[in-house]
Structure 1
Amino acid sequence: MPVRYKTCLLIDDNYIDNFVTRKILESGNFAENIIVQQSPGQALLALEQGVIKPDIIFLDVRMPDMSGFEFLEEYDKLQLDTETPVKIIMLSSSLDPTDRNNSLNSRHVAQFIHKPLTYEALEELST
């Protein structure tokens, strides 16, 4: 399977979820580079400074310091999507339909996926 993306950014505060998601992404040959950030604030700073230039972002919905929705608000202010839009996938264990609806109402979010990430979900991203 060919690599689909150059750089994938995974933003999730949970170490175990990051470990599992990263392994799925690696074994699925999903991206050349997979960068993990446990802090949405640090991820925003790295994006703003141009240290990380992802093609796709997997973003957790519920995190203690900054939710995925708060991240999206701050991300929007950075106006990084002027040339090539970054595909953002909300990845969450939340069963609250409001989280899914709010995610899909964001102009930045391409899809909402329930954790854990699966190979089947990765396949659907390419279609």
Structure 2
Amino acid sequence: MTTKLDLIIFIDDDFATNYLHERNAKLADCTKHVKIFSSALDALGYLKNTDSEDYIKPNIIFLDINMPIMNGWEFLEEYEKINISKHSDLLLVMLTTSLNPKDKAKADDWNIVSDYRNKPLLSEQLLKIVKDNFNEKNNS
């Protein structure tokens, strides 16, 4: 992959999972920046603050379902309220340890959810997601 993504965001309340995902994203070498949010509220704050000089528009958001204070479903409800142009060209992937088929079905009901994956996300899986969803756009 010649062109790197600008930003991949991981939203998960588990420190070890965030460490692993950040490490795997760096190993995959497919993005210029990785941002980790241990709170869905903090991630929403970042995504709403597009005027900040530190803001980078994400290409992919990996979102955990089960988190305290605001879970992944509540995040999606609030994220949908953000200006729809901010959603364009964004891949939102639910990333979870849940084996509940109802969670997968619920994720499928959301138009903004592009994919549903089990944790942990390995660097090879991340590269495949990037290749499948961004390679044509980056090479055109």
Which of structures 1 and 2 has the bigger CA Rg? Answer: 2
Following TM superposition, the consecutive aligned residue runs of length 4 or more in structure 1 with deviations greater than 4 angstroms are none
Shift of 1:94: 0.6
Q: Taking structure 2 as the reference length, what is the TM-score of the superposition?
A: 0.83
Residue in 2 aligned with 1:43? 43
Residue in 2 aligned with 1:100? 104
Instruction: Please state whether the residue corresponding to 1:95 is helix, strand or coil.
Output: coil
Q: When the two structures are aligned, how many residues end up with a matched partner?
A: 127
Contact 1:46 1:52 in 2 (8 A): no
Instruction: Please state whether the residue corresponding to 2:98 is helix, strand or coil.
Output: coil
Q: Taking structure 1 as the reference length, what is the TM-score of the superposition?
A: 0.90
Letter in 2 for 1:55: N
For residues 63 and 3 of structure 1, do their structure 2 counterparts lie closer, same or farther at Cα, with a shift above 3 Å needed?
farther
Instruction: State, as a whole percentage, how many aligned pairs show the same letter.
Output: 31
Deviates more, 1:48-57 or 1:38-47: 48-57
Structure 2 unaligned regions, length at least 5: 133-140
* Greater fraction of residues in strand: 1
Instruction: Please state whether the residue corresponding to 1:112 is helix, strand or coil.
Output: strand
Match of 1:78 among 60, 78, 82: 82
Deviates more, 1:3-12 or 1:110-119: 3-12
Root-mean-square deviation (CA, aligned residues, Å) is 1.7
Residue in 1 aligned with 2:5? 5
